[in-house]
Amino acid sequence: MARFTLPRDIYHGSGSLSELRSLRGKKAVICVGGGSMKRFGFLDRAIDYLKEAGMEVRLIENIEPDPSVDTVIRGAKIMQDFGPDWIIAMGGGSPIDAAKAMWIRYEYPDISFEEMCKVFGLPPLRGKARFCAIPSTSGTATEVTAFAVITDNARGIKYPLADFEITPDIAIVDPDLAQTMPPKLAAHTGMDALTHAVEAFVSTAHQTFTDPLALHAMSIIRDHLAVSCKGDKAGRNAMHEAQCLAGMAFTNALLGIVHSMAHKTGAAFADLGAHIIHGAANAMYLPKVIAFNAKEPEAAHRYAFIADYLHLGGGSEGEKIQALIAFIRSMNDELHIPQCIRHYGSDGLPAEQGFIPEEIFRARLHTIAVNAVADACTGSNPRPVSVDEMERLLLCCYSDTDVDF
């Protein structure tokens, strides 16, 4: 038996933020990030709408990118003291993901982080609060998914939380918020969305209800991502809906080892002064993973189907897969995303020598590979992967060498 779960209500289109005034409750907490929602006036607007709904409002602000376990504990304590019956998470994927984890801890104050990470093993939520997610970036789609990613800074590892319990009750997908993204963020989040759609389509858990969502998301991204990054308003609007479609697909079809690798490399080199930004990691790794997974016949067939659907050309199945890989690499070039870790600069842009020296990468390679194989996303990858194969794959992603195994 398969399951297909989404928020009960998804409000979308310009001005849909105003739906906050239709919520019913006494207290609401708003979780936000570094200030863009306040700077552009959306936070004040949200507060006003909630007050119109008759609610007392408290803020949890300054949630950092790649939110940490410490941030989750801090926010949950504020919730426990305030007692909200609505949790409103607003901004990029980080504040929404953090708010999901805070929600778990708010409802179950004694739960450990390890218990929270048990895949599809959470106790029932909504005993204290319901959850509304409002994205300002066009990539993670966490507003419609059963997932969140939290960073354990002590270990330098990103942990995905996975359970249908943390699927938001309401998603407000208002493209007005996405107009504030700088070009680099639009590029990285857009490639994250493309990866979601591709991985969902070839996942071992793909299903009749997820395939159309994934394919249509890819088509919109093909047509609108590049112009969105140049500030085109219609392109931004289209990408905001495309990433949500991709999220609807992957929250039900799950993902694969592109995300396993991105989760486990993202914070692994933080001591060198930078993270590998999640969307950029996906963009770099996706072509290599396609080449690896295409050794599995069913995955090869579905990659070729994507190439046909996107009109990328190619006669044989192999040619179509190569056309898909070439398309993704061309998108990386157009969006100024490096093709490999060796050339990943500390600002996320291509560099002749990136911030991760090869000797340090190799020294940490085995641990990263072990953690990536153990990641929650690995189980639904279309081709099984061993630790040795993961090490070889990661080396290909470091140096941009061909995957021939």
Specify the pLDDT at position 155: 79
Instruction: Say if CB 206 and CB 252 are below 8 A apart.
Output: no
Specify the pLDDT at position 136: 96
Of 89, 296, 277, which Cα lies nearest the Cα of 191?
277
Specify the pLDDT at position 98: 97
| Alpha carbon distance 64, 52 (integer Å) | 29
Specify the pLDDT at position 225: 98
Q: Which stretch of 124-133, 153-162, 292-301 has the lowest confidence by average pLDDT?
A: 153-162
Of 147, 146, 145, 136, which Cα lies nearest the Cα of 46?
136
Specify the pLDDT at position 278: 93
Specify the pLDDT at position 145: 97
Of 152, 86, 93, 144, which Cα lies nearest the Cα of 117?
152
Give the mean pLDDT of the chain: 96
Specify the pLDDT at position 273: 84
Question: Which residues is 285 bridged to in the sheet?
Answer: none
Specify the pLDDT at position 34: 83
Q: At 34, which amino acid appears?
A: G
The pLDDT confidence band at residue 330, using thresholds 50, 70 and 90, is: very high
The pLDDT confidence band at residue 277, using thresholds 50, 70 and 90, is: very high
Q: What is the pLDDT of residues 391-402, one digit of tens each?
A: 999 999 999 999
Q: What is the pLDDT of residues 69-96, one digit of tens each?
A: 999 999 999 999 999 999 999 999 999 9
* C-alpha torsion sign, points 97, 196, 367, 121: positive
The pLDDT confidence band at residue 336, using thresholds 50, 70 and 90, is: very high
Q: What is the pLDDT of residues 216-275, one digit of tens each?
A: 999 999 999 999 999 999 999 999 999 999 999 999 999 999 999 999 998 899 889 888
Of 72, 60, 82, which Cα lies nearest the Cα of 103?
72
Specify the pLDDT at position 51: 98
Name the DSSP letter for residue 274. -
Q: Is the pLDDT assigned to residue 293 strictly greater than 90? A: yes
Half-sphere exposure of 294 (CA within 13 A, CB side): 23
For residue 185, what are the CA distances in angstroms to 179, 249, 315?
Answer: 11, 22, 35
Q: What is the pLDDT of residues 44-76, one digit of tens each?
A: 999 999 999 999 999 999 999 889 999 999 999
Rounded mean pLDDT, 281-305: 98
Q: What is the pLDDT of residues 337-366, one digit of tens each?
A: 999 999 999 889 999 999 999 999 999 999
| Alpha carbon distance 253, 88 (integer Å) | 26
Neighbours of 153 (CB within 10 A): 13
Question: Which residues is 68 bridged to in the sheet?
Answer: 151
The pLDDT confidence band at residue 19, using thresholds 50, 70 and 90, is: very high
Specify the pLDDT at position 156: 74
